[in-house]
Chain A
Amino acid sequence: NAGVTQTPKFRVLKTGQSMTLLCAQDMNHEYMYWYRQDPGMGLRLIHYSVGEGTTAKGEVPDGYNVSRLKKQNFLLGLESAAPSQTSVYFCASSYELAGEETQYFGPGTRLLVL
């Protein structure tokens, strides 16, 4: 049981390049989330998904796209990377949307955009 895994762990991009971050969970969770964490800003929700084939915008969705083609995977895409997207990206998943069940976080992806 690996929990939540993220690929890659670290990446350097040039401005304008594209990339996809992969999140996978093996807990059969219905809900998945993408956050970014910046110094002095805390964790901010980018996009989330309430089930296979569904996605929704979070607090800071601009410049990102997501897809949830399979229940266990949640992909985050950057079509044209900008230096402002330099951040640490965390994926999370949860069994339920409300209630006391927590979100489980992946180890993070550090992205540097030059």
Chain B
Amino acid sequence: GQNIDQPTEMTATEGAIVQINCTYQTSGFNGLFWYQQHAGEAPTFLSYNVLDGLEEKGRFSSFLSRSKGYSYLLLKELQMKDSASYLCAVRDTNSGAGSYQLTFGKGTKLSVIP
């Protein structure tokens, strides 16, 4: 099975930078996704990593190290609207949920304060 760990809660100041970590264990790694989920809403896609390195998309960046089973999501120039839960999801070629299915972490609730 898979084990995906991410911090439960984080708080950061408007305008600052925050890094949300995700560690995972998998037998057949096939990609890692980050989603944003505002309270009461559906998850929305932020980023995808399958090779080692940094992927940058505007204020958001995501990093992956497959050898370490580690990823992080970096949010720059934080805005109040970034207050949300951030979900790390790993795809495994043969997960407990089925072939090539996503297993989600429990999410990190980020609060941005003035």
Distance in angstroms from A45 CB to nearest chain B CB is 4
**B96 in the interface (beta carbon within 8 A):** yes
Give Cα distance in the complex from A104 to B103, angstroms. Answer: 15
Cα distance A99–B50 in the bound complex, in angstroms:
9
**Contact across chains for B42 and A58 when beta carbons are under 8 A apart:** no
Task: List chain A residues, Cβ under 8 A from B4.
Answer: 42
Chain A residues near B44: list those with CB within 8 A: 105
Q: How far is the CA of A106 from the CA of B91 in the complex (A)?
A: 20
Interface residues on B, range: 20 to 34
Q: Is B98 interfacial (CB-CB < 8 Å)?
A: yes
Interface 9-residue window, one of B10-18, B71-79, B104-112: B104-112
> Is B33 interfacial (CB-CB < 8 Å)?
yes
A54 to chain B, nearest CB (A): 12
- Segment 40-60 of B: residues with Cβ below 8 Å from A: 41-45, 48, 50
- How many residues from A make CB contacts under 8 Å with B? 24
Q: Which of B30, B87, B98 contacts A45 (CB 8 A)?
A: B98
Instruction: Tell me if B106 and A40 are in contact (CB < 8 A).
Output: yes
List chain A residues, Cβ under 8 A from B48: 100, 102
Question: Is B100 part of the binding interface, using a Cβ–Cβ cutoff of 8 Å?
Answer: yes
Given contacts A59-B97, A98-B31, A98-B100, contact A41 B41 (CB under 8 A): no
Assess the A48–B104 pair: CB atoms within 8 A: no
For A4, give the chain B residue with the smallest CB separation. B42
Q: Are B31 and A105 in contact (CB under 8 A)?
A: no
Which residue of A48, A56, A99, A106 contacts B42 across the interface (Cβ within 8 Å)? A106
Q: Is the CB of A97 within 8 A of B43?
A: no
Chain B residues with CB under 8 A of A58? 97-98, 101
Contacting pair B107 A90 (CB below 8 A)? no
Residue of A with least CB distance to B33: A102
